[in-house]
Amino acid sequence: MSLQPDDLLQTYLDDLLVIDASEAEPIKPVSSGEITDRKALSQKAATEDDKRLQLQKLLHSAKLQVAQVVDAPASEELETELTADTTKVLEASVAEVEESHPELNESALAVESLQQELAWSENGRPQWAQDVFEVLLFKVCGLTLAVPLITLGQITPLTDELTPLFGQADWFMGLQPTPSGKVRTVNTAKFVMPERYDSVFEQTAKYVISINGVPWGLAVDTVEQPIRLSPEDVKWRTERSQRPWLAGTVKEHMCALLDIPQMGGLLTRADKNAR
C-alpha cells in the first residue's frame, strides 16, 4: 500500500513524538526527606557561588587600586611636564600680544587697579569710602538710588537706537550705541527690585549710566546732582550674601547705595558670551 505525501508527513511527526521506552529512565518516586536534602544542597551551592563572586570582586578592586598607585607617579610627572610646557607657551603668547598691543596690558592693569581700589576693607567699608566720597543720585520707578562716582563711566541719553536682543535675560533692555561703543543696557528697575517692578519704566527711562570698566550700563529715569558723603553718612551692610550689589543705605536721603563693582561682576557673570 502506497502512502500519500500528507500521510507520510503525519507518520514522521508521530514518530518524533513517541518516546523510546528503552532509552527513557523509569520515574522513581521521591521521598520528602530527599527533597529537603536537595534543597539544602542547592542553597549551599548558591551561598558558595555568592562567596566566590564577592571574592572575585574584591580581588578585581584590589588589582585596580594597586594599578592606580603604580601609575600615579608617571601621571603626575606627565602632568607637571604638560603644565610647564603650557605655561611656557602661554607666557610666550602673552608677551607677544603685549608687545604688539601695549594698550591691552594697560587696560588689564587699569581694571586690576580699579578692582583693588573698589574692594572692601576690614572695617566694613569699601576702599573708596574710607574718606569723604561723592555719589550720584538717580531715580528708577520712583526709587532713589546712589552710586559712587568713582565707579561710573558716562551718562548718555537712552534713544530709539536701543536695540533689544531676543533670548536674553528679562532685565536686559538692549544695546545702546554711544560715542564710546555699544552699552549693554540693564533694566535697572527689574534688576534691583523685581518685586516692585512697573513696566511703565520702559517708557520713562531716559538715560544710561555706564559702569566703568565693563560694557554695561544702567537705565534710569532721572539723574540728580552728585553729593558728598562721609563714611558715617551710610549704614553699611555687614553681610552681603544676599543682594551683594547693595552696599548700604544713605541715611539722609534714605536711598540704597549700590555696590557697582559687585553689580558689574554679577552682570558679567550673567553674560554667557563673556565666559
Partner 1 sequence: MATNANQNINSDDPVLQWVTFRLDGETYGINVMQVQEVLRYSEIAPVPGAPAYVLGIINLRGNVVTVIDTRHRFALPAGEVTDNTRIVIIETDSHVIGILVDSVAEVVYLRQSEIEMAPNVGNEESAKFIQGVCHKNDELLILIELNKLLTNEEWAELDEI
**Could you tell me how many residues of this chain bind partner 1 (CB under 8 A)?**
21
The correct pick among 249, 266, 268, 271 for binding partner 1 (CB under 8 A) is: 249
Q: How far is the CB of 64 from partner 1 (least distance, A)?
A: 47
Write out the three cell numbers for 7.
Answer: 500521510
Q: How far is the CB of 97 from partner 1 (least distance, A)?
A: 41
Nearer to partner 1, 242 or 273 (CB): 242
Q: How far is the CB of 242 from partner 1 (least distance, A)?
A: 7
Task: Choose one: 73-81, 174-182, 208-216, 249-257; the region binding partner 1 (CB under 8 A).
Answer: 249-257
The correct pick among 118, 129, 136, 145 for binding partner 1 (CB under 8 A) is: 145
The correct pick among 108, 251, 269, 274 for binding partner 1 (CB under 8 A) is: 251
Continuous segment of H or E residues that includes residue 173 = strand 172-178
CA-CA-CA-CA torsion sign (39, 45, 50, 51): positive
**Rule CB under 8 A: is residue 127 a binding residue for partner 1?**
no
Nearer to partner 1, 155 or 193 (CB): 193
Which residues are within 8 A (CB) of 176 and not within 5 positions of it... i.e. 6 or more apart? 156, 158, 159, 161, 162, 163, 182, 183, 185, 208, 217
Q: Of the candidates 151, 175, 145, which has an alpha carbon nearest to the alpha carbon of residue 161?
A: 175
The correct pick among 125, 139, 182, 237 for binding partner 1 (CB under 8 A) is: 237
Nearer to partner 1, 114 or 270 (CB): 270
Residue type, 111: V
Nearer to partner 1, 175 or 267 (CB): 267
Nearer to partner 1, 51 or 251 (CB): 251
CA gap 117, 120 in Å, rounded: 8
Continuous segment of H or E residues that includes residue 194 = none
CA gap 231, 121 in Å, rounded: 13
Helix runs in the chain, H state only: 5-17, 32-100, 102-118, 188-192, 201-204, 260-270
Max Cα separation, the chain? 128
Contacts of partner 1 in 182-211 (CB under 8 A): 192-193, 195-196
Nearer to partner 1, 149 or 193 (CB): 193
Nearer to partner 1, 145 or 214 (CB): 145
3-state secondary structure (DSSP) of residue 56: helix
**Where do contacts with partner 1 occur on this chain (CB under 8 A)?**
143-145, 192-193, 195-196, 235, 237-240, 242-243, 246, 249, 251-252, 254-256
